[in-house]
Structure 1
Amino acid sequence: MQRLPIFRRVAGGLALFGLMALAACGSERQAEPETKAEPILWEVVDDAGAVEGWLFGTIHALPDGVSWRTPLLEKTIEQADLLVVEVAGLDNGSELTDIFVSLAFDDPPGPLAERIDPALRSQYETLLTKAKVRSDHFDAMESWAAALTLAQVAQASKSENGVDRALIGDFEGREIVEIEGGERQLGIFDTLPEAEQRDLLNAIIAETREYDDDMGRLARTWSEGDGEALAKLTREGILADPELYEALLAGRNRAWTAQLENLFSTQSKPLIAVGAGHMFGPDGLPAMLEARGFTVRRIQ
């Protein structure tokens, strides 16, 4: 069984896992050459009106040909003292693969097919065919790990086009702060109760039926800077499940907000670049920072 290539693909898209419904915004159809994007950018100011930093909702994988570097974003990159990302070591595939493997195989509860809703098993077989693996390939994996791997099998967007990865390259020689890290990010999934892991597994398999159309739509929504549509998407798909919403979005955002508040107390001005789905709604980072006394205003 060819496990390692699939695991490396999962590790390569690691920052996807924080918000499956929004983070994997790519599609099998290539974008038109030089498709212009204008994704949302916010600035964070203190009560005296001084700029403390910036928030930028990213996409962890994109089709070819999307031009998202606007003049204002380029200026912000130049002005920022440091970059804050979910996972800094996106190019260290072997380390991320090791983390995934170390967590993915603890006490799996039986054959994966038996953990999948009977109505979805034919779609599961379709994914197995696409991955070119046998039906027992995922049996030794915990349900969350199988879910994330199947999501990567289904989507054909390119993590090498990911905005996070490009920004990390832009900040070479400057400080890069990892707000979560690969082990902690995967650990969130690993600690989900089995019932929630199965909800995640079944939801992801169900969504793969229209994955290409959905991912293309999400990429366009991000590129157009449609905040209203992106906010709506934070409550759809797997995030419509209250427990998964809390674990994968709201709880993480609370933890991040506490870290960001400490970071804003320093003299450095950070560019905070995390998955776009973390930016919207009452549990989004802008709303949480405003609740702590900051002013967050959209500038793009």
Structure 2
Amino acid sequence: MKLCIHSVIAKRRTFLWIIVTCFYSSALHAASQPLLWQVQDKDSRVRLYLFGSLHYGDEAFYPLPDAVLQAHRDSDVLAVELDIDALDGEKVRAALKQYGYYPSEKNLQTQLGEKMWKTLTQVSENLGGDAQQLKQFKPWLAAMQLTNMQLARSDYQQALGLDKYFLTASRDKKIILELESLDEQMQLFNQLSDAEQIEFLQVTLNEQGKAEESLKRLADAWYQGDEPTLNELVFSSFRQRKLGHRLYQFIFVERNKQMLQIIDTYMKKAQKIFLVVGIGHMLGEDGLVALLEAQGYQVTLVTGVTTEVNRGINAAVNTGRDD
């Protein structure tokens, strides 16, 4: 089982598709211009490129624009959330067991109750799976697995994701900097209480079958570099529930601050960085673009379409409002 919880990444007001997939589409057209920013220090030297990623993709995403490829070529370091190609299988299984599995005396069926377990069983069967295989999973991991199962039936592949593309292009040629560890990513949803995890799974079950249109809309916005639309599609879902506000805090706000600390340290060295993380981490008043500007760096859009008013969208998320 492949687990991808980068931002979440990530739909039509759908938590899990934003967090897990971070935006795909088979309805791509015209020349792409996904969002790319360059970051200059006080001496106007380019120290960093920011490129928003989709963790799954299809062949229509490629080739990438020349400006993106040139920025990657000009960089000494590739920074990613996690080097997925260097993961050790035994360590992944151990982390899943530690953070995503119930102890032997508990199981998902008893935690959910008869009605919700029946729904889970039906959804799993519709996706070609067996709910019995999810029985020791905590609710957050079961939700992830259901989403991965749906992705497996779609046109999108992790092998064609953008972080995967740049990891392959950089291997043995550039320094690869991981901004997070496997344990840190696994702990994300384990922070939720039992009740919150069950709510998270319920949202996933409710949204099954509704995600395809959302994925297409998000992918089109990414492909066109349409920052205003991406802001709305990514963050509006986090305003709808108290759980959404909590997820926003530790998926975006806390992780972005941690990423910024690592990036800032590297930018003080002589090496130029090409950073590829989920597109949601770039956007809004809590995104890396805004955080770097607040640190005094000059951030300039190279490709894509942006507008300053969309920085305010996250203010509504932080206050739990849905204006």
Q: Which TM class, normalised by the smaller chain length?
A: 0.7 to 0.9
Which whole-Å deviations, capped at 9, do the CAs of 1:79-110 have from their partners, x for residues lacking one? 00100001113364724344323421134864
In structure 2, what residue type is equivalent to 1:206?
N
In structure 2, what residue type is equivalent to 1:251?
E
Secondary structure of 2:235's aligned partner = coil
CA contact (8 A) 1:154 1:211 kept: no
Which whole-Å deviations, capped at 9, do the CAs of 1:39-61 have from their partners, x for residues lacking one? 10000111222111110001000
2:318 aligns with none
Q: How many residues are treated as equivalent by the alignment?
A: 287
CA contact (8 A) 1:23 1:277 kept: no
Alpha-carbon deviation of 1:16? 5.8
Unpaired runs of at least 5, structure 2: 11-15, 304-323
1:298 aligns with 301
Secondary structure of 1:62's aligned partner = coil
| d(CA) in 1 for partners of 2:231, 2:289 | 12
1:282 matched to 2:272: no
Secondary structure of 1:297's aligned partner = strand
Alpha-carbon deviation of 1:297? 1.4
Residue identity over aligned pairs, in percent, reads 21
2:214 aligns with 214
1:128 aligns with 124
2:256 aligns with 253
2:95 aligns with 99
1:48 aligns with 43
Task: Specify which of 20, 24, 27 is matched with residue 26 of structure 1.
Answer: 24
Secondary structure of 1:262's aligned partner = helix
Alpha-carbon deviation of 1:66? 2.1
- TM-score, normalised to structure 1, is 0.85
CA contact (8 A) 1:80 1:270 kept: yes
Cα RMSD, aligned residues only: 2.6
1:65 aligns with 60
1:111 matched to 2:108: yes
Unpaired runs of at least 5, structure 1: 1-7
| d(CA) in 1 for partners of 2:101, 2:206 | 23
| d(CA) in 2 for partners of 1:146, 1:93 | 22
In structure 2, what residue type is equivalent to 1:115?
L
**Is the alpha carbon distance of 1:237 and 1:199 closer, same or farther for their aligned partners in structure 2, counting shifts above 3 Å?**
farther
| d(CA) in 1 for partners of 2:230, 2:93 | 30
The worse-fitting range, judged by mean Cα deviation, of 154-163 and 234-243 is: 234-243
In structure 2, what residue type is equivalent to 1:84?
A
The worse-fitting range, judged by mean Cα deviation, of 51-60 and 230-239 is: 230-239
Alpha-carbon deviation of 1:124? 3.2
